[in-house]
Structure 1
Amino acid sequence: MIFDIEKIKARETYNLLIGLVAPRPIALVTSMNHEGRMNAAPFSSYNYLCTDPPIIGMGVTNRPSSDHVPKDTARNIRRTGEFVVNVVTEDIAQQMNICATDFPAEFDELEMAGFTTAPSHVVKVPRIAQAHAALECKEFTTMEIGRSRIVLGRVVSIYIEDKFVDPAGPYVLSEELHAIGRMNGLGAYVKTRDSFLNIPRIPFEEWEKGKR
């Protein structure tokens, strides 16, 4: 089937994209307003974009009820310029999902999910203590496109529990971290436990020999 994006509804485009751009890493973002009130929300339109400087990108749609009112995460980042991406692993998946609930403003997502916080190293926004790894970020820029905001954050500090780091690299022991990914549709996720593939890159010389 061919889908002409100019001729189908935005929701239909969304359904197709999230089914094909998958699995996606999940950013459980902690942010804070000027009064120090915390917010925690997960986003799967997220990835790293470059490493020098280290930049991550995240798409945050506006509130469903409005084309122009940003979600708390985007508003907080714009006003304070800081946020933390907490890595979502199997053991905190259910708590992450609670943070996705559309709570009224007076509710604290972290408290509702049973999360506690720990001080970050560089930014003022705390990380989630139960997360085994986190990226402290400062806003690089925010672009408003349609009903979404694309937030680019510069990573200024990385926290990883010691047991998940091979200091020789340093390398992240991803096979032991057990991060989860987002798939298409509400409630659809994928595990990384026991599912790693090793496909070595082929040097051109070896590829050329194999063709003969």
Structure 2
Amino acid sequence: MTDPSPRVQFDPAAMDGAAFYRVLNSVVVPRPIAWVCSRSAEGVVNLAPHSFYTVACVEPPVVQFTSVGRKDSLRNVEATGEFTVSLTPEWLFEQVNATGTDFPPGVSEAEECGVTLEPSERVGVPRVAGSPVAVECTLHATLRLGDSTVVLGRVQLVSVWESAVRDGRPRIEQLQPLARLGGNEWSTLGEVREIKRISYRRWAGDPAIGEGVRGD
């Protein structure tokens, strides 16, 4: 599919930062959500969704989320050195959104929003009991970039509901993750499509691996 219409140019050097942020959020999609649980030095538990989230490294296993500004999650992780990331499933949509409210630092979002927490296995910060996946992390490093801070968490354990694991790995149809889009838009899983990656040998038609060159 091609669109014959002219392109609209969005130049960060010519735009207000907040306006360009909205553009980036609308084109870097869909984004997985890190439902980050942390604990302050005073013992107050914080739970907040962060949609700048991904895997940073495989060996050692490290995940990362970005705090835009100095949010409670960042301050708590810096203070205690640990956090959990719970997957955000469809059935907790409203609670995930509600925990993004700018509650004061001394208020627990989980309590306010009716989210049940449970103890983790390896870290002293709880995880979301109603989420099928929890990633337990210790702080690996932080990286300041302008108005944001990238938080790198060394994965100590991934715990998944037994009912969501098949053939040795978590199955997406059981996880039903939410994703963030632009503005106030969210997305659910939708259609799942599967295709094998093509090796260069097969792409080049290596006779040692059969007749099918592409797509089999």
Match of 2:200 in 1: 204
* TM-score, structure 1 normalization: 0.89
Task: Summarize the Cα distance change of 1:37–1:106 in structure 2 as closer, same or farther, 3 Å threshold.
Answer: closer
Q: Residue in 2 aligned with 1:51? A: 58
Instruction: Give 1:77 deviation, angstroms.
Output: 0.3
The match for 2:98 is 98
CA displacement 1:124-152 (0-9 Å, x = unmatched): 00111111111001111112222111111
Aligned to 2:173: 175
- The aligned length equals 200
Q: Which secondary structure does the structure 1 equivalent of 2:158 belong to?
A: strand
| Residue pairs, 1:138-157, within 5 angstroms | 138-157=138-157
Q: Name the SS for the 1:28 alignment partner.
A: strand
1:66 aligned partner: none
Distance 1:206 1:164 in 2: 34
Given residue 87 of structure 1, which amino acid in structure 2 is its aligned partner? L
Query: Do structure 1's residue 17 and structure 2's residue 14 form an aligned pair?
Result: no
Of structures 1 and 2, the larger Rg is shown by 2
Distance (whole Å) between structure 1 residues aligned to residue 28 and residue 58 of structure 2: 21
CA contact (8 A) 2:35 2:85 kept: yes
Counterpart of 1:197 in structure 2: which amino acid?
R
Tell me the equivalent position of 1:110: 110
Aligned partner of 1:31 in structure 2 is: 38
Residue aligning to 2:5? none
Aligned to 1:190: 187
Moved more, 197-206 or 108-117: 197-206
| 1:71-86 correspondence to structure 2 within 5 Å | 71-86=71-86
Secondary structure in 1 matching 2:204: helix
Structure 2 partner of 1:60: 67
Indicate the residue corresponding to 2:209 in structure 1: none
Q: Distance in 1 between matches of 2:148 and 2:24?
A: 15
| CA RMSD between the two structures | 1.5
Distance (whole Å) between structure 1 residues aligned to residue 198 and residue 183 of structure 2: 35
Please give the alpha-carbon distance, in whole angstroms, between the structure 2 residues aligned to 1:110 and 1:185.
24
Q: Distance in 2 between matches of 1:112 and 1:120?
A: 21
Does the Cα contact within 8 Å between 2:44 and 2:107 map onto a contact in 1? Answer: no
Partners in 1 of 2:102 and 2:10 — Cα distance?
32
* Cα distance change, pair 106–138 in 1 and its aligned pair in 2 (3 A): closer
* Structure 1: 4+ residue segments shifted above 3 A: none
* Consecutive unaligned residues in structure 1, runs of 5 or more: 63-69
| TM-score of the pair, normalised by structure 2 | 0.87
Secondary structure of the residue aligned to 1:110 is helix
Percent identity of paired positions between Structure 1 and Structure 2: 34
Moved more, 82-91 or 113-122: 113-122
